[in-house]
A and B are shown apart, each in its own frame.
Chain A
Amino acid sequence: MSRRVAIVGVGLTRHVAYDVERSWKEMFAQAAFGALDDCGLSPRDLDGGVVAFHGESMTETGNIGPVVADAVGMDPAGVTGLSGACAGGAMALYHGYALVASGLCETVLAGGFEKGSDLYEYIEAITQSSESDYDYAFGLTHLDWLALMSLHYSKKYGLENWDSAVQWIEDRHWFARRHPQSFYYGQKMPTTQEILHNQLLWTGVRADGAAAVILTSSERAEEASREPVYVDGLGYACASAYLPHRFHHPWKDPEADFGDSLLTQAAAEKAFAMAELDAASEADIFQVSDVSPAMVMMELEALGLYPRGTAWQGVLAGSHGFEGRYPTNTHGGSIAFGHASGSSGLVSVIETVVQMRGEAGERQIERPLRTGICQASGGSNSNNTVTVLRRGRDE
């Protein structure tokens, strides 16, 4: 890639169960305006956009590019819609990066949203992001995937109990209580007993929400009103959407199956090489997909922070909490910040930017944050991204 790319503006809507007053267009526009206002740019400064949504079954709108260009007022700039399940927002960043780095565009809006509450049957729509002739058609859902992955992980690696998962969930709720735009902000913390007995707390909490960032070249970023955060490494990896194919993966690793996150491993390898990062442990802040706690363990392991099957030890010891060595999902993650499929992958990027700028308020990690790693999983852990962010003016 020819030039360094920075995030100069970020915008986010509060992630809520029902945003009944607004359409998805209005909701996304609010996130986009937030990002533009954040860096003092106007819609006319944008010459390209990439926006993730779950798919047209979710919005009853398929070709969202022109709709977004119009809603944001950035027309005639070209906007591309993409569908990437829960990794969509991070994929929008990936493709938005390419637009700027290549020189094709100068300043780009990358965003994502989901508005599941408009749908009577959300589960029907979201379940279609799969090998649908052989899982959706058979009545097999994403929650089945998450449960099967979690149970398989725990058996494969001999987890005796779910204490680490409870710790993960508690830590995420702690962060979410300190994020005014989170799903649970202002609500009381769940007790350990409530976590143990409420299965709904063990997965991403479905939310309406939108997120957007403004990407620009390092030259422009130097003139921006905000301290830029640079996108220094990106990796994106795909394989079959059919969950059991994780047993028949192209890596020929006989030990690996859907209890391991091979695509995160592949994406991380690429992103770390690009960012000249020797190991994940060199980073200061982390964001991983946490639509289920066992998935968290797999992703932390796939990033290389732990050997396979051992991340639960670090989680249980509090290494990923506020004062831990590897602060992770400091906004509350999908579990407690709220999970809006097209938005989630970008919310974690925005949280990293906010933390690096030192604007995270009560949840601000106090030590200097120079490098951040954001991981996102899509579908059946079938389309995963890893993004390396760095703070600091271009040398």
Chain B
Amino acid sequence: MSEFRDQMYRPATYGSVKSWRERRGRYRLEGSRCTECGALFFPRRSSCRECHGRKLAPYECSHTGTLVVGWQQVQLARLLGYADLPKRFVGVVRLDDGLHIETEIVDVSRERVKPGLRVAMVIRRLRRESNGNEMYGYKFRPLLPAAAGGEEEAEPGTSDGEQPT
């Protein structure tokens, strides 16, 4: 939405340490598991909301899940660094281990962004950090039905190509 694409990605200019600190969550979907009661969490946290235990271990969430609800963003809602991209799809995904996350859905056509869509995690570019570094993080793309070759490949022909979606 801004004409200053390269000069001003984020008005609140954090250093890249925030991205670095969250790297495991953003690149591997690493959350937390309570070593006392077994409760699972994403994003990561340092105390258990269920039993209030303070010993939590890293836990890598399922990389596959099912779309609970999704939509396509409207012009009004676009952020700096996303202005030149096609309207993005955003949804809430129930991961196969039962946790829920909010995520962008990529490599997908509008018709398929419906509750029940099976999706898998991929790493994609987000936008640039204040120091010019690109930020990366998880997004989700559709899985093919088992009949068409198993839960591995994205639907052919719907990719946004080289665009940093």
- Which residues of A are in contact with B by a Cβ distance under 8 Å? 57, 119-121, 123-125, 127-128, 131, 133-135, 137-144, 147-148, 151-152, 155, 199-200, 242-245, 247-248, 250, 258
Contacts and interface: CB of A to CB of B under 8 A. Distances in A.
Main secondary structure of the interface of B (DSSP, over half): mixed
23 contacts: A57-B11, A119-B11, A120-B2, A120-B11, A123-B1, A125-B12, A133-B22, A133-B25, A133-B43, A137-B26, A138-B104, A139-B126, A140-B90, A143-B73, A143-B74, A143-B76, A144-B102, A147-B71, A148-B102, A152-B68, A152-B69, A199-B76, A200-B76
Interface of B: 1-2, 8, 10-12, 18-19, 22, 25-26, 43, 49, 68-71, 73-74, 76-82, 88, 90-92, 94, 99-104, 115, 126-127, 135, 137
Nearest to A259: B69
A250 B49 CA distance: 8
B15 to A, nearest CB: 13
A125 B10 CA distance: 9
A243 B102 contact: yes
A139 B82 contact: yes
B134 to A, nearest CB: 13
A86 to B, nearest CB: 16
Contacts of B11: 57, 119-121, 124-125
Given A143-B76, A244-B92, A137 B126 contact: yes
Contacts of A243: 92, 102
A100 B22 CA distance: 43
Given A124-B79, A133-B22, A155 B104 contact: no
A94 B79 CA distance: 33
Contacts of B25: 133-134
Given A148-B91, A244-B101, A124 B73 contact: no
B80 to A, nearest CB: 6
Contact of A121 (B1, B68, B104): B1
Given A127-B79, A133-B43, A199-B74, A138 B103 contact: yes
Enumerate the 9 nearest inter-chain pairs by beta-carbon distance, A residue then B residue, closest first: A244-B100, A143-B77, A152-B69, A141-B77, A247-B100, A144-B90, A147-B71, A134-B43, A151-B69
A119 B103 CA distance: 27
A159 to B, nearest CB: 13
A244 B81 CA distance: 25
Contact of B80 (A124, A137, A142, A248): A124
A149 B69 CA distance: 9
B100 A144 contact: no
A139 B102 contact: no
A139 B127 contact: yes
Task: Point out which of B70, B102, B127, B135 has the most chain A C-beta atoms below 10 A from its C-beta.
Answer: B102
Contacts of A147: 71, 90
A123 B135 contact: no
B43 A124 contact: no
Contacts of A123: 1, 76-79
A201 B63 CA distance: 37
Nearest to B39: A248
Nearest to A147: B71
B102 A140 contact: yes
Nearest to B137: A138
B79 A245 contact: no
Nearest to B135: A137
A165 to B, nearest CB: 15
Contacts of B80: 121, 124
B97 to A, nearest CB: 12
Contact of A155 (B22, B73, B79, B115): B115
A137 B134 CA distance: 12
Contacts of A125: 11-12
Task: Point out which of B12, B19, B103 has the most chain A C-beta atoms below 10 A from its C-beta.
Answer: B12
B126 A148 contact: no
Contacts of B137: 137-138
A263 to B, nearest CB: 15
A200 B79 CA distance: 17
